[in-house]
A and B are shown apart, each in its own frame.
Chain A
Amino acid sequence: MTVVVDYGVNNLRSVVRALGAGGHAATLSADPEVVRLAERLVVPGVGNFGQARRNLATSGLADAIRAVAAAGRPILGICLGMQLFFETSEEGPDEPGLGLLRGAVRRFRTGMSVPHVGWSAVSLTVAGEAHAMLARHDARGPVFYYHVHSYHPVPAAGDAVLATAEYDGLFPTVVGSGNIIGAQFHPEKSQQAGIDFLSRFVGWRP
């Protein structure tokens, strides 16, 4: 069973609905024991890094997510959920992240309007082309996903960048390593492209 982690942020129900639209049952849970036993996890999120990180720690969910990661079961982070996987974020410099992925989360350095909001074309990197969940993802041309964010991930390892999008330069928008994967965009708000992305995650055997 796929479990969607409920840690007091908005936008959770739409993730469960989008999984359902692809034919995949999912449970929304705030219970660390349910999360710990999940076959696969989705960590969604809209909100502030520091606040969310504190919620995860006090609820016991941080340890439960780490346990699923350590057991090698697949975990998908969405937007803030993905950002929490990193070691640090400029949005909450006092709170270390979960450290499931090496690297940092940085604010856009651009003269363009921030947050970056809208449908941006996403292109796989060489590492993304070789990734079991993503291979041939854009075989029929560029795929647009809905983005809304002021910060983006900067993985320490170049091959952890699986796909990029462009906003005054390229930024990593799908990242991952081993059984961990994360998207900066919102598959649950990206119509059929997003429903397909979530279905790929459910079918993924890392």
Chain B
Amino acid sequence: MLARRIIPCLDVAGGRVVKGVHFESLRDAGDPAEQAARYDAEGADELVLLDITASHEDRATLLDLVARVADRIFIPFTVGGGIRTVEEAGLVLRAGADKTVVNTAAVRDPALVRRLADSFGSQCVVAAVDVRRPADCGAAWQVHISGGREPVALDGLHWMEQLESLGAGEILLTSMDRDGTQRGFDLELLNAATGRVRIPVIASGGAGTLAHLAEALEAGAHGVLAASIFHYHGCSLPEARSFLRQRGFPVRP
């Protein structure tokens, strides 16, 4: 029995936890290592840290932060933000991460995903995919890169299939339409994605209530990523686990 995962996410900028709405309007939510230790103590299944400004900032700061967080937790630790090469991914793994996230760099250089998988194993390679429904209400989801700032000519579902065949170990799928809104995950997107790839899909963007987490798992997500619901809304991880267990999902005690 493989447990479904509840994964708190720390969006980090300038060494502090921040959280935006629609990828913008950042506000301060504390020290990453302290937050990480709290989530570990509450029984998080995994922790994701995304350095959302990493493309522009000092890499050494991120590596130091990764090491500080890794020192405080006993759960799998996934780190992303501005990773462009096998060497950079290697530094993040050596600093204490178990998996690395690639997004923009994978779109610009898809073979990077293959090189990462060959170097570290597929289990180390999480492909983040940020999508938005086009304004013209087309049926597809369009991929965006550079922290959501830049739309590219890629269909989200097709891109996820490509990522799987390139060797990605899992997909971290964010609906930009729902991100930070707390109106619930894009379930249509999750249904479509989990029907197209065999690797685990982690749902991100829109969690506002515990019922939203259950909906995402019902739609086929292997795990749910959530930030605001745990940072600001008084929902605890033990509450989330017991809620999901009552709904019949296999979760850790």
Measured between beta carbons, the chain A residues less than 8 angstroms from B2 are 116, 118-120, 166-167
B96 and A14 contacting across the interface, CB-CB below 8 Å: yes
| C-alpha gap A69/B84 in the complex (Å) | 44
Contact of A121 among B3, B5, B170 (CB under 8 A): B3
* In the complex, residue of chain A having the shortest beta-carbon distance to the beta carbon of B252: A144
Task: Flag if A142 contacts B1 (CB, 8 Å).
Answer: yes
Q: Does B121 contact A (CB under 8 A)?
A: yes
**Residues from chain B with Cβ under 8 Å of A14 in the complex:** 70, 74, 96
What's the Cα separation between A121 and B3 when bound, in Å? 8
* Chain A residues positioned under 8 Å from B252 (CB to CB): 119, 144
Stretch at the interface among A125-133, A175-183, A187-195: A187-195
Most chain B Cβ neighbours within 10 Å, of A11, A189, A195: A189
Q: In this assembly, does B183 line the interface, its C-beta being within 8 Å of a C-beta of chain A? A: no
> B123 near A: Cβ within 8 Å?
yes
Task: Take A141-B253, A142-B1 as given contacts and tell me if A13 and B74 are in contact as well, using a CB distance cutoff of 8 Å.
Answer: no
Question: In the complex the two chains form, is B40's CB within 8 Å of A191's CB?
Answer: yes
Partner of A112, one of B94, B198, B250: B198
Say whether chain A's binding surface is mostly helix, strand, loop, or mixed.
mixed
How far is B49's CA from A25's CA once the two chains are assembled, in angstroms? 30
Contact B1 A166 (CB under 8 A): yes
Residue of B3, B74, B122, B198 touching A118 (CB-CB under 8 A): B3
State in angstroms the CA–CA spacing of A11 and B98 once bound together: 8
Q: Does A17 contact B (CB under 8 A)?
A: yes
* A116 proximity list for chain B (CB < 8 A): 2
Q: How far does the alpha carbon of A9 sit from the alpha carbon of B146 in the complex, in Å?
A: 33
Residue of B nearest to A165 (CB): B1
Is the CB–CB distance between A17 and B198 below 8 Å? no
In the complex with contacts A144-B253, A189-B74, A115-B3 CB distance below 8 A: no
In the complex, what residues of A have CB within 8 A of residue B93's CB? 10
The reply to whether A10 and B74 contact each other, CB–CB distance below 8 Å, is no
Question: A17 to chain B: which residues have CB within 8 Å?
Answer: 71, 74
**In the complex, number of A-B residue pairs with CB atoms less than 8 Å apart:** 70
Complex Cα spacing A144 to B3, Å:
8
Q: Establish whether residues A190 and B200, one from each chain, have CB atoms under 8 Å apart when the complex forms.
A: no
Q: Mark B1-35, 1 if CB is under 8 A from A, else 0.
A: 11101000000000000000000000000000000
Contact present for A113 and B200 (CB under 8 Å): yes
What are the residues of chain A within 8 A of B122 when measuring CB–CB?
Answer: 115
Q: CA A144 – CA B43 in complex, angstroms?
A: 12
Instruction: Take A14-B96, A191-B75 as given contacts and tell me if A113 and B253 are in contact as well, using a CB distance cutoff of 8 Å.
Output: no
Pairwise interchain contact B74-A21, C-beta atoms closer than 8 A: yes
Say if the beta carbon of A148 comes within 8 Å of chain B: yes
Complex alpha-carbon distance, A13 and B70, angstroms: 10
Determine if A18 is an interface residue (Cβ-Cβ < 8 Å).
Answer: yes
Among B40, B75, B200, find the residue whose CB has the most chain A CB atoms closer than 10 A.
B75
The one of B5, B98, B121 that contacts A189, using a Cβ cutoff of 8 Å: B98
A108 within 8 A of B: no
- A17-B71, A141-B253 known; A118+B1 contact, CB < 8 A: no
B222 at interface (Cβ–Cβ under 8 A)?
yes
Contact B43 A191 (CB under 8 A): yes
A117: Cβ under 8 A from any B Cβ: yes
Contact of A117 with B3 in the complex, beta carbons under 8 Å: no
Q: How far is the CA of A148 from the CA of B76 in the complex (A)?
A: 10
Q: Let me know if A146 is at the binding interface, CB within 8 A.
A: yes
Neighbouring A residues of B3 by C-beta, 8 Å: 118-121, 144
Inter-chain contact A118/B222, CB cutoff 8 Å: yes
Question: How far, in Å, is B97 (CB) from chain A's closest CB?
Answer: 10
A14 to chain B, nearest CB (A): 7
Closest to A141 in B: B253
Sorted nearest first, the 6 A-B pairs with minimum C-beta distance are A119-B3, A121-B1, A113-B198, A144-B252, A115-B123, A148-B123
